[in-house]
Structure 1
């Protein structure tokens, strides 16, 4: 592939990014606009044209998964020697390289969890901590460190941003805890993830020979998701650059959803001030979602704008029309979970893969109801943020078998068949187990490995088992798990950077979104951006819902999210299809009911609504009654209509050709 041919697959704006190889470049990229394609093609084009040496490029992003995906794309584009890492991974590698020379000996041990250190620090300063408060205090320590806030400055800094103190502690107590935490780490000879960045940045700032060596190695920088950089990450980036301007940053201020963790769009918004000669490119062509989804996203997005805020990007849909966005009001949380599970099951039956469906919510505690409802509906699921795929015992066992098989695999047997033969001994079979539970979860994991083997063959026709093992090792190091065939359950924060064919945004009531903890104007604005991120995860099907009550039979005390004002159908500016009830209407059943009503109306010479109003048809198609008693509680059906049409409605719902026993229906209804 020639250098110029790399540009053929890009639109004009993406091509502008790819050909801007030197100097400061700022890419403002809306959701679904192909930013990863643009920046990976930029790097590959620079390598192909000889402007870049692969080893001189450092691309950094925020998640191991994103970094792994970037490496795969770069390899496929012929730029496999480029370093694509998270901030922490890149810094840890450099720190480990220079520590023996600068400090002497091996670097301190890196602790992955702060809990025991925070608990010890709390005991030393008289701060009572339990399991929940330890987690909250650890998060506060992380915020202070990535925000470059010292213990001495904590009270002032927290007050300046109106940051609530965690775990019921006052600011002075948290400041004392910050000091004690650092003391505990020093005594134990360990460092945390924030220390990796702090220590490397300090080393580069204070040791000229180290800074010179790093800057001679890395000449070109790319920073993805730049709206999420913290002050600490920005400081490290500045040390890497050393006053140079050869950096390309990519981000979208409207997708800033991690301010609570120290992320700030300030650096993206002020990039042209720090780099006056920067070239700015805006990516607004949305290749991900239908016009219906993009239209809602734009309306949510523009509603976030406050006086003085920069104008948000206005996305332009590139996909053909799709179904209307659906809005559903449920009576309670159980009804919402059951309704969404039923809709997911219908989508799967209609050909949408379960792995291309997601249910997104504001807090992780909301997942349990959806897990139970999906299991009851016979739909597989996976909870994002649960046990990591490569940490599972059955996956580790499978990898051992695959590595052993790679040494003796028959080269004449196709890779897919070889993998299937090997994994049969650890739970794979051509068909999944009928029931949910541990056996089905194990099968789902094995099927994900089988699917990855098939994908590898499709991408590289001569791929071998050795190639698959190497791919799995790369993915394990980056925690880039293969796709498991099940509906994804995830918080809105965990969904960032992902996309699905169908997305259900659940629990959209005030107190959940925006969450009740959002007390400041800035915090509420970030909650609205979280809704925007959720909307833009959907490619084709999008459904928004809320429940009026928490439990069946309890008072309907919840109000629909204020973010949906003007968006909900029936309100000024609202578009889409609205449903009311315990489940959304089945489209096929609803169409049959409408055809039946039209025939009855024609026979009687009356208007269709005189037979049954639309609300009654929709309620029947949502309730899916199977026996006469089910019709008693359907909205819009009174006793007269039940006696007159009850058996016909049951017959139409069941899609039966022969009429039922009208007398039997009347008897049961009475």
Structure 2
């Protein structure tokens, strides 16, 4: 343990220190982009444990990615505190299931299916009488099944809910056929004693809710004395239900949530900022309600641009207005217009080539795209410019690199990142280019005012706030320069 707990808080600013020092009762931390969110919550946890107010063995911090959980654990350990559990929702729940399984049933523990495409294909065949041969259709069906689970929608309720929300089922199916497919998928999975990732959360919820399993529920709850939920703007109804059950439906008030409504970009997958915004009503009275709005990551020029993206939103009153914690204004945010997509890709590649020639590392540069399909052309242009790169799609990393020795590229400099904006959330780079900033692509599908447009606006905001030092936004007039309607700049660009 740290012999001087107060030293843990020394490097925090006033708002961060207020948040980190609020150790008892419900706490909400609204943390803007670059505002030191992880720094604040890890120091809050370490400080409470170092003081002896919290037992590390009963302290749980949950977040949304394995990488973020590892970063939390590492930072807390570096502050002299061991034994804290930092994990994803799914990992934490799986450990809880394993801990009590033998006490609640003699049945073997189900097999966790990491790739359920074969199950979905079989369910499609049973529901429609034909084969699902399109891998994109299978991906969309998987996403829809996941959405129903995290939204707590049963197969019996699916048709009613989609009709009420005007949601279109995937793969050309009508709502009843999709409901039949979901039912067939669940039946097949159960018959094989298999579970998918969201079943883990559902099973723990059931265990904690069933009055006949109260002893097992008590075992789980005893190990959660203090709970921190990161990225709370992205929790789904299922994750929120699990969090409530972990706390005994609010009887344990030692819970801290951290998030930013302006960075809610996974609504299509069931995420909602409703729980972050209503936390005060749900858990109040709050012991502390702190806003971190100083962005230490981005220059004033980038922060000003980000604020202007949100300023046109009808929901702007619910968003943080950032200020930059860096000195000076920084380089002007540039907007570029190119004739074709290939011209745009080459222009971005040459921009990064100049940065690297002046001493920047390729790993300090990132090209952000709205969709995966934009990435191939960008990679080709980077190859032409002699730059190594790696691709981060919505499905994860793909290794893409050149023979660095023959190109005389310093291996320590890494590679340029090509990423969708969704996949770049949580990352930051000194130099960022956002490509494809034209109507129809950004915002995707040119949605009318409403929830879909707001999601796209927030996505642009997240993309902009990935930039530390320089930011360029660009679009091309056409795909290949051979006719077709000329594109127009996206509505989020500043004129």
TM-score by length of 2: 0.94
The superposition leaves residues 383-410 of structure 1 with CA deviations (integer Å, 9 ceiling, x where unpaired) of 1149977x98x9xxxxxxxxxxxxxxxx
Residue 121 of structure 1 aligns with which residue? 123
Aligned pair 1:157/2:155, yes or no?
no
Q: What is the match of residue 276 of structure 2?
A: 268
Give the distance between the partners of 1:63 and 1:518, measured in 2 at CA. 29
Deviation string 1:590-610 (CA, Å, 9 cap, x unpaired) is xxxxxxxxxxxxxxxxxxxxx
**Structure 1 residue 553: deviation in Å?**
3.2
- Structure 2 SS opposite 1:331: strand
Q: Is the 8 A contact 2:430 2:468 kept in 1?
A: yes
Larger helix percent: 1
Please, which of 201, 206, 212 is the counterpart of residue 205 of structure 2?
201
Q: Which residue of 1 aligns with 2:439?
A: 510
CA 517–553 in structure 1, closer or farther in 2 if over 3 Å, else same: closer
**Partner SS for 1:384:** strand
Q: Which is bigger in relative contact order (C-alpha 8 A, separation at least 6)?
A: 2
Distance 1:294 1:517 in 2: 25
Deviation, 1:556, is 4.9
CA–CA distance in structure 1, aligned partners of residues 60 and 441 of structure 2: 39
Deviation at 1:155, TM superposition (A): 1.5
Q: Does 1:554 align with 2:462?
A: no
The runs of 5 or more residues in structure 2 that have no matched partner are: none
The separation in 1 between residues aligned to 2:65 and 2:129, in whole angstroms, is 33
Q: Who is 1:225 aligned against?
A: 231
Deviation sequence 1:163-193 (CA, Å, 0-9, x none) = 2221111111111111111011012211000
**Structure 2 counterpart of 1:210:** 216
* 1:387–1:183 distance in 2 versus 1, CA, 3 Å: closer
Please report the RMSD computed on the Cα atoms of aligned residues, expressed in angstroms.
2.1
Equivalence for 1:485 = 414
Task: Pick the structure with greater CA Rg.
Answer: 1
Specify which of 242, 252, 267 is matched with residue 236 of structure 1. Answer: 242
Q: How far 1:204 sits from its partner (Å)? A: 1.2
Any conservation in 2 of the 1:334–1:552 contact (CA below 8 Å)?
no
Q: Distance between the aligned counterparts of 1:187 and 1:72, measured in 2?
A: 41
Matched, 1:363 2:371: yes
Distance 1:5 1:342 in 2: 46
Query: Is the deviation greater in 65-74 or in 297-306?
Result: 297-306
- 1:182-201 aligned within 5 A: 182-201=186-205
Matched residue SS, 2:433: strand
- Paired with 1:93 and 1:53, the residues of 2 have a C-alpha distance of 19
Q: 1:253 aligned to 2:261? A: yes
The answer as to 2:353 corresponding to 1:334 is no
| Bigger fraction of residues in strand | 2
Q: Report the Cα distance in structure 2 between the residues aligned to 1:246 and 1:162, rounded to whole angstroms.
A: 39
- 1:608-629, Cα deviation, whole Å (9 max, x unpaired): xxxxxxxxxxxxxxxxxxxxxx
Quote the offset at 1:281 in angstroms: 0.2
After superposition, the C-alpha distances for 1:546-570 in whole angstroms (9 at most, x for unaligned) are 0110113334521111222xx13xx
Match of 2:34 in 1: 32
TM-score (norm 1): 0.70
